[in-house]
Amino acid sequence: MTADSYEKTLKLAVEALELPDSAYEKAVSRYKDLGEWFGRSESSIDVNDPHVFAQGSFALGTAIRPLLEGESYDLDLACKLRLGVSKATHSQYDLKQMVGKELGGYREARNISAPLEEKHRCWRLEYQDGMSFHMDVVPCIPAELGQRQTLNVELEYRGMEKNLAKAIADNSVSITDDRAPNYRVKDPSWQLSNPEGYIEWFKSRQRSESAAGVVVARSQVDEMPLYRRKTNLQRCIQILKRHRDLMFKESPDSKPISIIITTLAAHGYRGGPSIAGAMEQILQSLNQFCASESNEVRNPANPHENFADRWGTLEGQRLQLKQNFHAWVRQANIDIRRFGDLVNSTNLAEQLEDKLGIRISASTLESTVGLAIAAAPIQAPHVHIPQDSPRPWGTQ
């Protein structure tokens, strides 16, 4: 396979993994509708200046189609109450119940049959109206000024550009977690998080993209970036996530989590005009991380948060999370690079389905990628020898 054929193969893979327009349209519609519900005049939290924003793969432009037909899409949101709630006036429990009450009303008003489900840090709403979404809504409040200033200084100390460090620090928030010992009492030690800051950092990593891969907004609602034409960083992450999904199809609880893949990929990305070149940068970066034997993947928007913290827990050791991450990186190196070594579209079609769950016919690959279909094997003609035929010489 030529370099051009390999690049075309990776582009086809991304196109097959991309979400349909209808999924983006539904996500934006629901995201906007929920924000309007929280901010309506009858809302019990309208006076708290609620701000709903997207986080996770939809916000980063790295979402992919669900692996299984009919499986739910994940839409991760946060609801930040910007006025009237502080650690001195409310407990984490109080904040979570305030947001939960409005979500319960929203569920009833929109005739959502599935019950509102409480998770450790968020509320989950199962929304189905022709397309199924998990809407995970994280309640939060702005981090205190002192916390933001401290984070700003630390980010600059770690080498981050001044304006970016300030933009990231200013977006930091305090979140609820029902596992915290101080969950039901007014206490200053809430967990710091920074989903909006992470998005700003991720955008900064995309800016090394060449003019050939400029980002064009697909749709935008309250800074929710959904891209029609993605940077090569996003494309590579989409491919890697789907490879991960297939490899751990039978044991999803043990698979590498997307935020670790995304963070390490973004760290390794240095820009360039091709998906293949970006993928090589990212694979090398993943290899270097594994070789270091590190147990830390620091949140670039909150260095005190370790995305790999579960690796060292009893549960993480039971699920072999670190070992599985290393095994996945090794297999990704083999499988993705192998796409570039195949010499016919028949084998390429088989590998795309086996490693990425993508079904593209050999004839389509022949016309788009430029690889010939494998020739059918030549079978020797069948020769019928009658039972009463003369025996070979030398036999009795």
Instruction: Please determine, for residue 393, whether its predicted confidence score (pLDDT) is greater than 50.
Output: no
pLDDT of residue 220: 31
Report the pLDDT value the prediction gives residue 20, as an integer from 0 to 100. 80
**Per-residue pLDDT band at 73 (split at 50, 70, 90):** confident
pLDDT at position 214 is: 42
**pLDDT classification of 207: cutoffs 50, 70, 90:** confident
Residue 224 has a pLDDT of 41
Which residues make Cβ contacts (< 8 Å) with residue 56, sequence separation at least 6?
A: 74, 75, 76, 195, 258
pTM (2 d.p.): 0.88
Lowest mean pLDDT across 15-29, 113-127, 287-301: 15-29
pLDDT of residue 80: 97
**Residue environment code for 1-20, b if the CB has 16+ CB neighbours within 10 A, otherwise e:** beeebbbbbbbbbbebbbbe
Dist CA 136 CA 74 (whole Å)? 8
pLDDT of residue 225: 45
Q: Which residues fall within 8 angstroms of residue 396, CB to CB, at 6 or more apart?
A: none
pLDDT at 226: 43
Which pLDDT band holds residue 376 (cuts at 50, 70, 90)? Answer: low
Please indicate whether residue 374 or residue 283 has the higher confidence score (pLDDT).
283
What size, in residues, is the chain? 396
| Nearest to 61, CA basis, from 23, 90, 12, 10 | 23
Judged by average pLDDT, the poorest of 21-25, 128-132, 256-260, 276-280 is: 128-132
Q: What is the pLDDT of residue 178?
A: 96
Residues 6+ apart with CB under 8 A from 150: none
Residue with the bigger pLDDT between 30 and 280: it is: 280
> Quick one: which of 222, 231, 240, 58 has its CA closest to 135?
58
Q: What's the mean per-residue pLDDT of the chain?
A: 88
pLDDT above 90: residue 71: no
Q: Tell me what the mean pLDDT of segment 201-216 comes to.
A: 64
- What confidence category does residue 379 fall into, taking pLDDT thresholds of 50, 70 and 90? low
How many C-beta atoms lie closer than 10 Å to residue 230's C-beta? Answer: 24
Highest mean pLDDT among 65-79, 284-298, 340-354: 284-298
Report which DSSP code applies to 252. Answer: G
Mean pLDDT of 15-40: 87
Mean pLDDT of 60-78: 87
End-to-end CA, the chain: 56
Share of the chain above pLDDT 90, in %: 72
- pLDDT surpasses 80 at 394: no
Beta bridge partners of 51: 80
Residues 22-29, mean pLDDT to the nearest whole number:
80
The pLDDT score that the predictor gives to residue 253 is: 95
φ and ψ at residue 90, rounded to 5 degrees: -140, 150
Which DSSP string corresponds to 122-149?
Answer: -EEEEEESSSEEEEEEEEEEEPPHHHHH
The percent of residues in the chain predicted with pLDDT above 70, rounded, is: 88
- Provide the pLDDT confidence category of residue 392 given band limits of 50, 70 and 90: very low
Which has more confidence, 2 or 160? 160
Q: For residue 211, what pLDDT is reported?
A: 38
Domain coordinates in residue numbering, the chain: 3-341
Mean pLDDT (whole number) for 119-127: 94
Tell me, what DSSP letter sits at residue 40?
S
| Per-residue pLDDT at 245 exceeds 90 | yes
How would residue 215 be classed by pLDDT, with cut points 50, 70 and 90? very low
pLDDT in tens, 247-256: 999 999 999 9
Predicted confidence at residue 23, as pLDDT, reads: 80
Predicted pLDDT at 238: 97
Distance, in Å, from the CA atom of 335 to the CA atom of 355, rounded to the nearest integer, reads 7
Which among 356, 26, 338, 97 is positioned nearest to 347, based on CA atoms? 338
The number of beta carbons lying within 10 Å of the beta carbon of residue 97 is: 14
Average pLDDT over residues 117-141: 90
**Residue 118: pLDDT over 60:** yes
What does the alpha-carbon distance between residue 138 and residue 77 come to, in Å, rounded to a whole number?
6
